[in-house]
Homo-oligomer: A and B are copies of this chain.
């Protein structure tokens, strides 16, 4: 197989950083191997401590292990979401009205877990540990996950990083032959967005960016004109 060259960019770097949304609804379109190659090549260009490159990616599309892994995680996701839907009170308050952001988010999440097995691509980013776990080890795998999502965006795809596999990680280790010393760091689904990318919503910048001291907003930390905001965490 001769690799296709890396495609030319159609999206700028800042543009991509500011408008890559978590994409949870996909068309049925598969992601062709050349695109997967570009996405994974970009993922692995991320930095890691001492350039040890402890990140590994198990890509699951439509083989027997892919079908089994998607079913395992899908079932776990539905159970976890049902629990979260209640504990985070998605159906109470404004969640009882169909047109609110809270109700919309609940519908999106419900559809995501209900259709988990139909996601075109499932990627399990893994971390090969060379020492006991530290709170800092994520610095050597999550930047690569972000590169992965941004590269998908660059090619017109989209995805979301989740932790839905946590409840079935041991079953996944067995199914996929993952050594015990390896940490499955996340569950990423990818596909062609049924919706669209666009500006993301966050808290106002002065709540997130300080200068000289904790909780002291940097005077220059001003959101660009037109920025839309959202509160942090599950909708209230």
Contact of B163 with A136 in the complex, beta carbons under 8 Å: yes
Q: Does A18 contact B (CB under 8 A)?
A: yes
Chain B residues lying within 8 Å of A157, measured Cβ to Cβ, are: none
Size bin of chain A's contact surface: 35 or more
Q: Which residues of B contact A18 (CB under 8 A)?
A: 6, 41-42, 45
A167 CB, min distance to chain B CBs, angstroms? 12
Q: Is A71 in contact with chain B by the CB < 8 A criterion?
A: no
The CA-CA distance from A139 to B36 in the complex, in Å, is 22
In the complex, the chain B residue whose C-beta lies closest to that of A162 is: B49
With both chains docked as a complex, state the minimum distance between the C-beta of A20 and any C-beta of chain B, in angstroms.
8
Q: Are B145 and A139 in contact (CB under 8 A)?
A: yes
Interface residue? A92 (CB, 8 A): no
Asked if B151 and A17 sit within 8 Å, CB to CB, the answer is yes
B residues near A3, Cβ cutoff 8 Å: 220, 222-225
Instruction: List which A127-185 residues lie within 8 A (CB) of chain B.
Output: 133, 135-139, 141-143, 145-147, 149-151, 153-154, 160-161, 163, 166, 176-179, 182-183, 185
A215 to chain B, nearest CB (A): 7
Which residues of chain B are within 8 angstroms of A99 by Cβ–Cβ distance?
A: none
- CB-CB < 8 A to A185: which residues of B? 135-136, 139
Task: List the B residue with the shortest CB-CB distance to A88.
Answer: B50
Determine the distance from Cα of A211 to Cα of B31 in the docked complex, in whole angstroms: 14
* Per-position binary interface string of chain A over residues 38-55, scored 1 when its CB falls under 8 Å from any chain B CB and 0 otherwise: 101110111101111111
- Pairs of residues from A and B, 7 with the lowest C-beta to C-beta distance, nearest first: A138-B138, A9-B12, A33-B220, A142-B142, A143-B146, A13-B16, A13-B154
